[in-house]
Amino acid sequence: MKLSFKGAIFDLDGVITQTAEVHFLAWKSTFEHFLTKRNHPNPSFSYNSDYVPYVDGKPRYEGVDSFLKSRGVNLPFGDLNDIAGTPTICGVGNGKNEAYRDIIDTQGAKIYESTLALIMRLQENKIQLGVASSSKNCSFILEKTSLSPLFETIVDGNTSRDLGLKGKPEPDIFLKAAENMELIPQECILFEDAISGVQAGKAGKFGLVIGISRTGEKEQLKINGADVVVDDLETLSLEEIENLYDKELKL
């Protein structure tokens, strides 16, 4: 079929791979250990009250700073090479990264088959494909899952560090992915599951922003910039995506 859009950009965690829960578990163990050692009166870390508003979708060190400040803890930034356990933002963030990689090495990373099926259909229809993620582990995960060859461009946390790109909700990583494919944002569809991600898609003026609600946040994704929200991509056919894209262009 002839499609009007030319590119599709996917977030990784929670969109392509089922690693959002792994991130949460790694953050939870890291933060609770850190706060317990400091005898903080509230060392618990929950999904809805802590992970979603302060950490989800943000670059690692921004997430550390955001959450700890919500608990009244202010740490120096430190050095990017600080070892786990160092009382700095980098030290805490690097400890989380170690915990995350340990889980992936032990358990692997699961793929959302519905997303993979859509990616294959888009590829068959000559749509350019990109991944844009805040995670510095993006390439690591794509290699672990053998998905790297499917994508023309991969913009991740390492790219952001090297180029000075701002994290979500700023649209920098998505704009860079579109630029790498020599496309403008309006020619691309964006797939995101985080509130900060759909905010970035709206700010970047992408042709269509599709929110994926894995944890029942449909209304918040819609309010914050998603043009359409689904529980899973299996509920959208390629024809329906094309119709939604055409509809947005005419608005």
Q: Residue 8's beta-bridge partner residues?
A: 129, 189
pLDDT of residue 133: 95
Give the Cα separation of 166 and 251 in Å (integer).
29
Q: Which of 11, 56, 172, 193 is catalytic?
A: 11
State the CATH number of the domain containing residue 113.
3.40.50.1000
Q: What is the mean pLDDT of residues 133-146?
A: 91
pLDDT of residue 249: 81
pLDDT digits (tens, 9 = 90+) for 175-188: 999 999 999 999 99
The region of weakest confidence among 122-131, 135-144, 165-174, 231-240 is 135-144
Query: pTM, whole model, 2 decimals?
Result: 0.82
Six-digit token string for 232: 């899973």
pLDDT of residue 245: 96
pLDDT of residue 58: 86
pLDDT of residue 107: 86
Give the Cα separation of 54 and 196 in Å (integer).
10
Do both 75 and 113 map to the same domain?
no
Q: Which of 40, 72, 107 is the last residue of a domain?
A: 107
Average pLDDT over the chain, rounded to an integer: 94
Asked whether the beta carbons of 64 and 93 are under 8 A apart, the reply is: yes
Do both 172 and 213 map to the same domain?
yes
The region of weakest confidence among 70-74, 126-130, 215-219 is 215-219
Q: What is the mean pLDDT of residues 85-112?
A: 93
pLDDT of residue 63: 96
13 counts as catalytic: yes
Confidence at 243, pLDDT banded by 50, 70, 90:
very high
Q: What is the mean pLDDT of residues 136-154?
A: 93
pLDDT at residue 21 is higher than 90: no
Do both 90 and 75 map to the same domain?
yes
The region of weakest confidence among 53-62, 73-82, 148-157, 196-205 is 53-62
Do both 12 and 54 map to the same domain?
no
H-helix or E-strand containing 162?
A: helix 157-163
pLDDT at residue 250 is higher than 80: no
Write 143-147 long-range contacts (CB < 8 A, 24+): 144/104, 144/108, 144/109, 145/17, 145/109, 145/111, 147/16, 147/111, 147/116
| Residue 149 lies in domain | 7-18+109-250
Question: Does some domain include residue 2?
Answer: no
pLDDT at residue 216 is higher than 80: no
Q: Which of 13, 65, 82, 172 is catalytic?
A: 13
pLDDT digits (tens, 9 = 90+) for 30-49: 999 999 999 999 999 999 99
Give the Cα separation of 142 and 129 in Å (integer).
14
End-to-end CA distance of the chain: 23
Question: Does some domain include residue 173?
Answer: yes
Confidence at 56, pLDDT banded by 50, 70, 90:
confident
pLDDT at residue 20 is higher than 80: no
H-helix or E-strand containing 124?
A: helix 113-124
193 counts as catalytic: no
What does residue 245 show for φ and ψ, rounded to 5 degrees?
-65, -45
Q: Which of 75, 107, 139 is the last residue of a domain?
A: 107
Examine residue 43 and say whether the peptide bond preceding it is cis (omega within 30 degrees of 0): no
Q: Which residue is associated with the tokens 């803890």? A: 73
Asked whether the beta carbons of 213 and 193 are under 8 A apart, the reply is: yes
Asked whether the beta carbons of 58 and 196 are under 8 A apart, the reply is: yes
Count of the separate structural domains present in the chain: 2
Confidence at 217, pLDDT banded by 50, 70, 90:
confident
**Strand arrangement of the beta sheet that strand 128-132 belongs to:** 153-155, 128-132, 7-10, 188-192, 208-212, 228-230
pLDDT of residue 155: 98
Question: Does some domain include residue 170?
Answer: yes
Do both 125 and 199 map to the same domain?
yes
